[in-house]
Every structure is written in structure tokens, then in C-alpha cells.
Amino acid sequence: MRAVVLNPPEQGTENMVVRDVDDPVPADCEVLVRVAYVGLNYADIMMRRGIYPHPKGYPLTAGIEMAGTIVAIAPGVEGVSVGDRVSAFCEDAGAFAELCAVPAARVLKLPRSLGLDLAAACTVQALTAWHLLHTVSTTRNGDVLLVHAIGGGVGLYLTQLAKHAGAIVIGTVGTPGKEVRALEYGADRVIVRTQDDFMEVVVELTDGRGVDKVIDSTGASILDRSFDAIRNLGHVVSYGEAEGKPYQNLWERLVRRSLTFTRLHIGHIDPLSEAWTRGAEAVMSMVEEGSLKVPVERIFDLSDVHTMYAALETRRISGKLLLKMSEVD
């Protein structure tokens, strides 16, 4: 089968190749999926660069998010059948391929009315947003949130899901133009960090009180400054470090205002848990009924995978980039 393979990052920009690899054989409790679409995430960029915080080793078949059709089932699998249309979070990667073996617990059975392209575009990012808001933290009506990188994939889902919960959403973006879709999706205010000081705007908007919660995927200096934008006993939820790891003064920042700090990796949520099931059911039903918009920006063919990666690395993309692996039903 054809697959996108990552070799050690020391090979530079030549470390990603499209080549033939052996078909995967599903282990016990796994299913084999013929992949239709795969979603590109910033985690994929980090894996290619060798800076992903959950190392997989090399060579590595890339991709953590896909949708397709089950073509084989291993012993121990219950609840799904050959022919079922599913999406999946592939914690061990392997989704950027024509076939992917994935634990059955990680697949979501899809209704016929939900397109495989939309399913591939929302499974990881929308579920990440849900768990940021409702599993590792609590989001209530009237809460004021500060969401960094609000114009990206997870940020756009955070905007919609937080508004569904009744929150007030303030966001920041680093690139002019990425604020547009976030505002269309319901954000109350979006700050372009190259044009305005987000700290000054937040203090003004909250009358000096500060926000209830910061949700951050940037780390480094942006996260560090955010501690001055949050109220006493507030909550900081981190899910990425696009700018760099948090500074060494994290303890001092938390102690100063009795803050809570949480770092989420969606792979640490038990797929057999009630929290996972609740989030999956909520997100997929909202996507199916149209109350949660799926911002697909562009769909690429396998021959254009390098162009797709380059597009995401510009940080100008506001929405989801998909790779088409096979013909769909």
C-alpha cells in the first residue's frame, strides 16, 4: 500500500516520503480501515521535526486522524462490523496510508448522513476542544475564556463549543486575517497579537477582573504573559507548545494567584471511559445536525502531501487541511 513515511528528522526536509509499505495486520481488538480521508494536525508537523512530546520512533507512518471503511476485524472486537463507516484517533499514528490498523476502542461509528471528509476533519480537533472545556475543566454559562490560537482548527471548535455552553469567548491570533472565521463562529472579541496587546484588551474587557480560564496551545512567552490576564483561583489549560515549552517560572506564576494548571493530551483519555463516550456522542451529534461547523479549508491529493504540510507551517490556515487517500462511497 501507499503511505506517507517520516524518517529521522536529521534528514531535513527530505525526511518525508510517499512510498510503498507492507499492509498492516490488525492485532487483537483492532480493526483494519481502508482510509478515505486523513486530517493534518500540528502534531504531525512536530513529529516530522522530531519535537513531538510523545515520541513514536522512526521510520514512522504519519497521521493520527482519519475516516474510512472497516475492511477487516481481529479477534476481540465488538460493536463494529466490516463495512462500517468510521473515523478514528490513531494514537500510535499510521493514518496517512491506504490502510490503517487501529484499536476498535478508538473508532467512532458514523451515521450515513455524515460525510467521511467531515468526520476526518473533526474527530481529533473537535474532541480535543470538548475535553478541554468539559473533561479537564468545567465551562459554565457566563464564564469568560481567553483562547489563544483561536483561528486554528482546535480554536474554532473551542469557540463554538464554549458559546454552546454560554461562555464569553475572547481570542487571540498571531496572523492578521485568522480572526475572521473565529468571529463568524461566535467569538465575542479576537485580538491580533501583532496589532494590539492582548493583556491590555483583556483587562479592559473584564474591568480589571481577568478571565476565568485561559486555554493555550502556544506556550513560552504568550503563556507566560497570560498569567496576568486571569483572575485569582482561575484555571489555565494547556494543550500545546507551538511557540515553545512553558517557562521555568510556572510554579511562581501559579502560586501568585492560586491558579490551577492542566496539560491535556487527548491520548491520555481512556477510550472506554464515560468521559470519552460522552464527548464523542456530543461532538458527532452536533456535527451531524449542523450546530457544530466543520471548517474544511482544502483537500489535497497524496501527491501534494508536501504542499499540505508547507501550508500548515505558514500558520495562515484557518480551518482544516485534509489528505484524500482513496475514493469514497
Q: Report the pLDDT value the prediction gives residue 41, as an integer from 0 to 100.
A: 93
Same domain, 100 and 141: no
Which one has a higher pLDDT value, 273 or 319? 273
Residues 242 and 141 in one domain: yes
Q: How many domains in the chain?
A: 2
Instruction: Provide the pLDDT for residue 236.
Output: 98
Give the pLDDT confidence score for residue 328 in this predicted structure.
64
- Assign 12 a pLDDT band (cuts: 50, 70, 90): confident
For residue 201, give its domain range.
137-263
**pLDDT at residue 222 in the model:** 96
* CATH number for position 152: 3.40.50.720
Q: What is the pLDDT of residue 11?
A: 80
Residues 8 and 119 in one domain: yes
Average pLDDT over residues 88-94: 94
Q: 180 lies in a domain?
A: yes
Q: Is 37 helix (H, G, I), strand (E, B) or coil?
A: strand
Q: Is residue 65 part of a domain?
A: yes
* 168 shares a domain with 283: no
Q: Is residue 329 part of a domain?
A: no
In this structure, the answer to whether residues 41 and 84 fall within a common structural domain is yes
Return the C-alpha cell found at 329: 462511497
Work out the pLDDT band at 315, boundaries 50, 70, 90: confident
Could you tell me if 166 and 101 lie in one domain?
Answer: no
pLDDT in tens, 20-35: 999 999 999 999 999 9
240-278: pLDDT as tens digits: 998 899 999 999 999 999 999 999 999 999 999 999 999
Taking residues 292-319, what's their average pLDDT?
92
Query: 329 pLDDT exceeds 70?
Result: no
**Residue among 319, 129, 148 at smallest CA distance from 229:** 148
Is there a domain that residue 131 lies in? no
CA angle 62, 67, 68 (to 5 degrees): 110
Residues 62 and 93 in one domain: yes
pLDDT of residue 327: 73
Write down the pLDDT at residue 317.
Answer: 85
**Span 145-203, pLDDT tens digits:** 999 999 999 999 999 999 999 999 999 999 999 999 999 999 999 999 999 999 999 99
Give the pLDDT score at 197: 95
Supply the DSSP string of 164-223, one letter for each residue: HTT-EEEEEESSTTTHHHHHHTT-SEEEETTTS-HHHHHHHHTTTS-EEEEEES-BHHHH
Residues 253 and 300 in one domain: no
Same domain, 242 and 215: yes
- pLDDT of 113 > 70? The answer is yes
Q: Quick one: how many helices (H) and strands (E) in the chain?
A: 9, 16
Domain assignment present for 199: yes
**pTM higher than 0.85:** yes
Task: Flag whether 204 is in a domain.
Answer: yes
| Final residue of a structural domain among 263, 283, 316 | 263
- Produce one character per residue of 3-42: b if its CB has 16 or more CB atoms within 10 Å, e if not: bbbbeeeeeeeebbeeeebeebebeeebbbbbbbbbbbbb
> What is the spatial distance between Cα 9 and Cα 20, in angstroms, rounded to a whole number?
20
For 45-86, how does the pLDDT look when each residue is reduced to its tens digit (9 = 90+)? Answer: 999 998 888 888 999 999 999 999 999 999 999 999 999 999
pLDDT at position 319: 86
The span from the CA of 258 to the CA of 59, in Å, is 44
